[in-house]
Amino acid sequence: MASISQNQKSVVTYKNTSGPSLGQLIRRPEAGSFFGMLAVFVFFSIFGGMVFLSPAGFASWLNVAAEIGIVALPIGLLMIAGELDLSIGAVIPASSLTTAIVSGYFGLPDFVGILAALGVGLLVGLINGLIVLRTEIPSLIVTIGMMFALMGLTLGSSILLTGSTTASIIPSELSQAMLGQFIGGMFQITIFWWIGFIVVVGFILHASRFGNWICALGGDKISARNAGIPTEKLTISLFMMSGFAAAFVGVSQAMVYQSAQVAGGQAFIFNSIMCVVIGGVLLTGGFGSVFGIVFGTITFAVVNQGIYFTSFDPNVGSIIIGALLLVAVITNDSFRKLALSYSKKKNK
C-alpha cells in the first residue's frame, strides 16, 4: 500500500501545484526532458541556421513528431503501468493496408476502411491484454510474438486478396482533408490530431482517477489489486489504447501517401520507446508525465531531422539520440527523487 500512496501523492501534488517557483519547476517529472529538449533545439538553431528555423525546418520535425507522438503517448501510459507493447510495429502497416485494401482495392467508402483498420488495432490490443493477464507472460514477449504473427497474417492476407504486398488508395476529399492534408504545403494535418491525443491522454493521466490507477499499477500490481483497482480492465484498456493509436497512424499514412505496404512501421517500435524514456518515464514503471513524453518526442524529432540542416554527418544524429537515451535513463531516477522529495515536503 505504501507504494500506491507514494505514487498517488506525486500525481496529486503535480496536479494541484499553483504558481510554481523555479525550484518547484525543476522538481517536476518532466523537468529533465524539458531541459534536454531546450538544449537540443538551441544546438540545432545554432548549427542549422535560419533554414532550420524556417517554416520548412519546423515542418520537417513537427511532422515526424506528430506521427511518433501519437504512438508514444499510449506507449508511455503502458510503461508507467509496468507494461510494454512492441506489436505496434505490425499494427501500423496492417491498419494501413486494411484501409487501402478495403477502400482502395475493393472500392468501399473510406469510412468503412478506416473503421476496419481501427478495429484491427483495437482487436490486437484486446488480444495482447488478455494473453498477458491469462498467461502472466511478460508483455515484452507476448507483444513480440503478436508482432511477428500479425506481420505474417498481413503479408499472407495482402497476397491472397490483391496478389501483391502493396495497395493504393485515392481518398475522398473529406478523408484527405481530415487525415492526409498538408497545410501550407508543409505541415501535416496529423499535427492537430497529435495535439488532440495529448489533451485526451493528459486528462487521463493527470486529471482523472485513472492516472492514479495507472501509476499504482506500475508501482505495485498486487497492492493495486488489493486496493480495489480494476487492474485487469485497466491493463486491457491500455493495450487497446496502444493498438488504436498505432492503427490511427497507419490510417493517416495511407491517406497521406495514398498507398500502403507490408514492410513498414518497425521503426516506430524503438523510436516511440526512446521518446518515452527521454521524456522521463521510468523503465521500471510507476512514474511519468504526459508533458515529459511530449518533450521527449520533440527532442527525438528535432535531432532526427535537425541533423540534415547542418554540415554534420547524418550518422551523428544517431549518436546524439543514443547519448540522449543513456543520459535520460541515468538521470530519470534523480528527477523522480527530486519530485517525490518535494511531494513529501508539500504534504507534511
Whole-number average pLDDT of the chain = 86
Beta bridge partners of 167: 260
Contact (CB, 8 A) for 151 and 262: yes
Res. 50: pLDDT tops 70: yes
Length of the chain measured in residues? 348
Average pLDDT over residues 282-306: 89
- Predicted confidence band of residue 261 (pLDDT cuts 50, 70, 90): confident
Count Cβ atoms within 10 A of the Cβ of residue 222 and give its class: 0-12 exposed, 13-18 middle, 19 or more buried: exposed
Predicted TM-score (pTM) of this structure: 0.87
Q: How far is CA 304 from CA 64, 109, 133, in A?
A: 9, 36, 36
Sorted by sequence, the CB contacts under 8 Å of residue 263 that are 6+ apart come out as 93, 165
Q: How many CB atoms lie within 10 A of CB 61?
A: 24
So what's the pLDDT on residue 29?
A: 61
pLDDT digits (tens, 9 = 90+) for 61-93: 999 999 999 999 999 999 999 999 999 999 999
Least confident of 17-21, 83-87, 91-95, 300-304: 17-21
Buried b (16+ CB within 10 A) or exposed e, 308-339: bbbebeeeebeebbeebbeebeebbeebbebb
* pLDDT tens column, 247-259: 999 999 999 999 9
Instruction: Tell me what percent of the residues of the chain surpass a pLDDT of 90.
Output: 63
Please give, one letter per residue, the 3-state secondary structure of the chain.
Answer: CHHHHHHHHHHHHHHHCCCCCHHHHHCCCCHHHHHHHHHHHHHHHHHHHHHHHCHHHHHHHHHHHHHHHHHHHHHHHHHHCCCCCCCHHHHHHHHHHHHHHHHHHCCCCHHHHHHHHHHHHHHHHHHHHHHHHHHCCCHHHHHHHHHHHHHHHHHHHHHHHHCCCEEECCCCHHHHHHHHCEECCCEECHHHHHHHHHHHHHHHHHCCHHHHHHHHHHHCHHHHHHCCCCHHHHHHHHHHHHHHHHHHHHHHHHHHHCEEECCCCCHHHHHHHHHHHHCCCCCCCCCCCHHHHHHHHHHHHHHHHHHHHCCCCCHHHHHHHHHHHHHHHHHHHHHHHHHHHHHHHHHC
Residue carrying C-alpha cell 499499477: 217
- Residue 263 to residue 89: CA distance in whole angstroms: 10
Query: In this structure, which topology does domain 2-6+29-342 adopt according to CATH?
Result: ABC transporter involved in vitamin B12 uptake, BtuC (1.10.3470)
Is it the case that residue 203 has pLDDT exceeding 90? Answer: yes
For residues 291-296, give the mean pLDDT: 93
pLDDT at 10 over 70: no
Residue extents of the structural domains in the chain: 2-6+29-342
**What pLDDT shows up at residue 90?**
95
What is the C-alpha separation between 76 and 84, in angstroms, rounded?
9
Q: What pLDDT score was predicted for residue 345?
A: 56
Q: What is the pLDDT of residue 23?
A: 52
Tell me the C-alpha distance between 288 and 281, whole Å: 4
